[in-house]
Amino acid sequence: MGSPEANTTEDIFDSSLNLEEIHYKEGHSDGYAQGLSSCVEEGRQVGLKTGFETGLELGFYRGCIDVWNSAIGLDQACFSSRMQKNVKKMDELLQKYPLSDPENESVSDVMESLQIKFRAICATLKVKLELDGCCHRASDPQKTGF
């Protein structure tokens, strides 16, 4: 066995060797907590932005459908029966969108179907409707689409 002085010296060096590991663990723990906190805030901001953009697009589609349905209500002959079916189908798709369940797997499929149906209706009407509220004739080559 070693002398008491040797044990004391070994204890001092052991604690020094463990110091690096202790600081590493503390640093990792602090960094993880700070990273988690900043990621939660960043995720919240992205979620708010995405939710707002989705709501804006869905609201735009609702407005278009309401206008088209009003026109149909005033004059059934203003749109062909095919066009009226497309408006009805788009309305059904919009109602099918899972607003209260944004993590639903069908969200992207329904949104894609809405966008396709919207473009088809606009092409039939020969107009280019944009989310910013502009309406352009499809024959205007200087205007870009939605």
Q: Kindly give the confidence (pLDDT) of every residue in the chain, 146 residues in length, as a single tens digit, with 9 standing for 90 and above.
A: 555 555 555 666 666 667 677 777 888 888 888 877 778 888 888 888 988 999 999 999 999 999 999 999 999 999 999 999 999 999 999 999 998 887 888 899 999 999 999 999 999 999 888 887 545 444 444 443 33
CA distance 68 to 123: 14
Say if 11 falls within a structural domain: no
Domain that holds residue 88: 20-125
Say if 41 falls within a structural domain: yes
Instruction: Give the predicted TM-score (pTM) of the model.
Output: 0.67
State the Cα angle at 113 between 67 and 59, rounded to 5°: 40
- The pLDDT of residue 137 is 46
Structure tokens at 102: 């944004």
- Tally helices (H) and strands (E) across the chain: 3, 2
Say if 143 falls within a structural domain: no
Say if 38 falls within a structural domain: yes
Angle 4-74/107-125 helices, nearest 10 degrees? 30
Say if 67 falls within a structural domain: yes
What residue type is assigned to position 1 of the chain? Answer: M
Say if 134 falls within a structural domain: no
Say if 6 falls within a structural domain: no
Q: For the chain, how many structural domains are there in total?
A: 1
Say if 36 falls within a structural domain: yes
